[in-house]
């Protein structure tokens, strides 16, 4: 657990790298993500000019983003986003656990300090 606390930013970038790899190797998933982000961008540009109304009710930007997310779910399902997500999570957990098991965090920490925060402040 001390390894995870100390190297959490490194592990986050491992997760992002695996996620980027998964997007690059799956063109349909990349298109689905690009379509969802494109719809959100169009809504933000359109919302700056004029509010969007549905059945006489103005929708906030958060509600519009939620509607895009709900409409994107079938597209993500067809693109295999669930399998990609579980693959990225599984690979990240495996890599992080493997590194944490073989790295001795106590070798770089001062034995007098029980908290990692003190070490971070000194650096």
pLDDT single digits (tens) 82-103 = 999 999 999 988 988 888 778 7
Task: Report how far apart, in Å, the C-alpha atoms of 116 and of each of 3, 70, 80, 99, 101 are.
Answer: 10, 41, 40, 18, 18
- For the chain, domain boundaries: 2-122
The dihedral region occupied by 55, where left means phi > 0, alpha psi between -120 and 50, and beta the remainder, is: left
Q: pLDDT tens for residues 45-83?
A: 988 788 888 888 888 889 999 999 999 999 999 999 999
Quick one: how many helices (H) and strands (E) in the chain?
A: 6, 2
Contacts of 32 (CB under 8 A, 6+ apart): 72, 75, 76, 78, 79, 81
Q: pLDDT tens for residues 20-39?
A: 999 899 999 999 999 999 99
């Amino acid at each position: 657990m001390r390894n995870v606390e100390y190297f959490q930013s490194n592990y986050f970038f491992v997760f992002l790298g695996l996620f980027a790899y998964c997007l690059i190797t799956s063109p349909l998933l990349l298109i689905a993500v690009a379509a969802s982000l494109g719809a959100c961008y169009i809504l933000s540009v359109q919302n700056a000019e004029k509010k969007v109304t549905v059945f006489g009710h103005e929708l906030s930007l958060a509600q519009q983003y939620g509607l895009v997310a709900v409409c994107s779910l079938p597209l993500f399902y067809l693109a295999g986003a669930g399998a990609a997500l579980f693959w990225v999570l599984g690979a990240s957990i495996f890599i992080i656990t493997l590194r944490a098991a073989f790295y001795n965090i106590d070798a770089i920490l001062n034995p007098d300090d029980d908290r990692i925060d003190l070490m971070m402040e000194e650096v």
